[in-house]
Amino acid sequence: DTAVSQTPKYLVTQMGNDKSIKCEQNLGHDTMYWYKQDSKKFLKIMFSYNNKELIINETVPNRFSPKSPDKAHLNLHINSLELGDSAVYFCASSLQETQYFGPGTRLLVL
């Protein structure tokens, strides 16, 4: 009965590959987010969708493309993975001010 879930939890891949991370929330929230957390624990917003509509698109390489098939799902596709993409990626959702986070996807690009 996890509120915000992400798959996979771990992702190890080679440079240049394309990969996707999936996120689902069963909280009935309208807004979903993708964050990147670096090795110093800084959480940085990448994208935000409200009712399947993109509302935040930070300065992120266009190799990163979010997709929201419905308001309960927000997936992140990454093309041509680079070493610097290695990080923990968190999905979150909110109905009002408080954002609820998923468990994270640990991406390691070799």
Tell me: does residue 72 bind other proteins (CB under 8 A).
Answer: no
Residue 36 and residue 105: Cα distance in Å, rounded?
Answer: 10
Which C-beta is closer to other proteins: that of 67 or that of 103? 103
**Residue located via tokens 């807004």:** 31
- In the list 31, 75, 81, 107, the residue contacting other proteins (rule: CB under 8 A) is 31
How many chain residues touch other proteins (CB under 8 A)? 29
Hey, what are 108's tokens? 């390691």
Hey, what are 16's tokens? 């240049």
SS3 assignment, position 35: strand
Contact 94, 31 (CB under 8 A): yes
DSSP 85: G
Q: Interface mask (CB under 8 A) for other proteins, residues 7-26, using x and -?
A: --------------------
Residue 51 and residue 77: Cα distance in Å, rounded?
Answer: 19
Which C-beta is closer to other proteins: that of 59 or that of 98? 98
Tell me: does residue 40 bind other proteins (CB under 8 A).
Answer: yes
Tell me: does residue 1 bind other proteins (CB under 8 A).
Answer: no
Which parts of this chain interact with other proteins (CB under 8 A)? 4, 28-31, 40-45, 48, 50-51, 55-56, 90, 92, 94-104
